[in-house]
């Protein structure tokens, strides 16, 4: 049976077309312990373009869009107000609490360093390197390096060579470059205001954990 990809989400200038979750996706998710199979079941198998390589945040964003389309319900939270200490319910609309932020890819220029940034190209290498990283900082650096298309107009550098170049940068130079990259990279904005209905106190909450994201029958 031919797959139909009726939904889409934009990542930069790319329209990512996808379909809803199917029973076969649930079965694959439930029956595999392999990380790649799990990623495939939840996102990549649902995409029209299965060759695309998504960064961690891009993957989470598309996962959220597929979940929203597939289940069409909100994620339920129970908060305790920091002011009046009363409990209250909050039904989170994924479109509202999570959005993508980025600037177009281009050159990051600082002193005599020019980094030409572009989309990821090798999913297997990217995911393997990210999975093998020992810390959040290491993951961040790997993500940055693998978005580099060219350094000082030379696109022939290997990952290891680019890693060595980064390690040899002066710390203050590195910080300036990363500030520019932070503006450019795709990232999830998942900080949202919630208001207590008892006392009207407003606080910011980071929605980094989504209880009830999967149906109960998907419980692994």
CA 172, CA 149: separation in Å to the nearest integer? 23
* Predicted pLDDT of residue 12: 85
Give the domain ranges of the chain. 7-73, 104-185
Contacts of 186 (CB under 8 A, 6+ apart): 11, 12, 55, 57, 58, 61, 100, 101, 102
pLDDT at 20 over 60: yes
- Specify the DSSP class assigned to residue 181: H
Confidence of residue 9 (pLDDT cuts 50, 70, 90): very high
- What would the mean pLDDT of 151-179 be, rounded to a whole number? 96
Higher per-residue pLDDT: 95 or 113: 113
pLDDT value of position 55:
96
Q: 220 pLDDT exceeds 70?
A: no
11 half-sphere exposure, CB direction, 13 A CA radius: 23
């Amino acid at each position: 049976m031919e797959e139909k990809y009726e939904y889409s989400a934009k990542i930069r200038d790319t329209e990512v077309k996808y379909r809803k979750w199917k029973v076969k996706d649930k079965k694959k998710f439930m029956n595999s312990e392999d990380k790649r199979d799990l990623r495939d079941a939840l996102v990549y198998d649902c995409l029209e373009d299965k060759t695309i390589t998504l960064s961690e945040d891009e993957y989470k964003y598309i996962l959220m869009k597929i979940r929203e389309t597939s289940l069409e319900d909100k994620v339920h939270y129970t908060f305790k107000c920091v002011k009046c200490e009363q409990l209250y319910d909050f039904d989170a609309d994924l479109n509202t609490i999570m959005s993508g932020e980025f600037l177009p890819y281009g050159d990051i220029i600082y002193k005599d360093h020019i980094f030409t940034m572009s989309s990821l190209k090798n999913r297997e290498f990217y995911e393997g390197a990210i999975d093998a990283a020992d810390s959040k900082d290491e993951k961040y650096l790997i993500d940055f390096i693998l978005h580099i298309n060219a350094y000082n107009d030379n696109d022939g550098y290997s990952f290891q060579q680019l890693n060595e170049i980064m390690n040899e940068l002066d710390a203050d130079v590195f910080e300036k470059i990363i500030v520019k990259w932070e503006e450019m990279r795709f990232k999830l904005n998942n900080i949202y205001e919630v208001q207590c209905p008892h006392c009207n106190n407003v606080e910011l909450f980071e929605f980094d954990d989504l209880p009830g994201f999967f149906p109960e029958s998907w419980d692994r």
